[in-house]
Amino acid sequence: MSLQAIVEERPRGGVHAGYLETLGLVERLHRLLLDVIKDEFERLGQIEINAVQALLLFNIGENEVSAGELKTRGYYQGSNVSYNLKKLVEMGYMHHERCEVDRRSVRVRLTAKGRNVREAVAALFRRHAEMLETRHVIGFAAGEDANAILRRLERFWTDQIRYIY
């Protein structure tokens, strides 16, 4: 049964219902974010990479990281990180080289082409932030409150994973 079906099936009210609604919203928001990025790249005529790859490039930014760090730093949310890294290197969006200290590890960083994608995503996010503010959808204070709540939820989930055994 999908999370959406569980949320729709739940009785109204209570902490449990609110938590299930939050879970559904988080899941839908992530999918919608990917759709928003996909639509922007289609509008720009940039169909070579997908939304997951574009978001990965945005999150890496000017950093140089190992493949393992992509998940631990929160830059990548999916399960097929090696596939996306390989594709981004092949298409010229990222450089990769063996780490000098640990030859088993590969370090990656954006190329100029990758930085262009990152800037397109950043411009989209800036535009959306301004629209949210000017249209009074979400003001700065409300956004800060929402972020604080989501950070607490993130810490709670992290603790659940860390202290499971």
Q: What are the chain's domains?
A: 47-134 (1.10.10.10)
**Segment (H or E) for 108:** strand 106-110
Q: What is the pLDDT of residues 57-98, one digit of tens each?
A: 999 999 988 877 887 777 777 668 888 888 999 999 999 887
Q: What is the pLDDT of residues 22-44, one digit of tens each?
A: 999 999 999 999 999 999 999 99
C-alpha 33/C-alpha 18 separation (Å) is 22
Structure tokens at 77: 């949310």
Per-residue model confidence as pLDDT tens digits over 107-119? 899 999 999 999 9
- Is residue 102 within 8 A of residue 59, CB to CB? The reply is no
Residue found by looking up tokens 């930085």 in the block: 115
Three-state secondary-structure class, residue 113: helix
What's the chain's average pLDDT?
86
C-alpha separations of 18 from 1, 13, 37, 111 in Å: 19, 7, 28, 44
Nearest alpha-carbon partner for 32 in 49, 17, 46, 51: 51
Q: How confident is the model at residue 9 (pLDDT cuts 50, 70, 90)?
A: low
Q: What is the pLDDT of residue 2?
A: 54
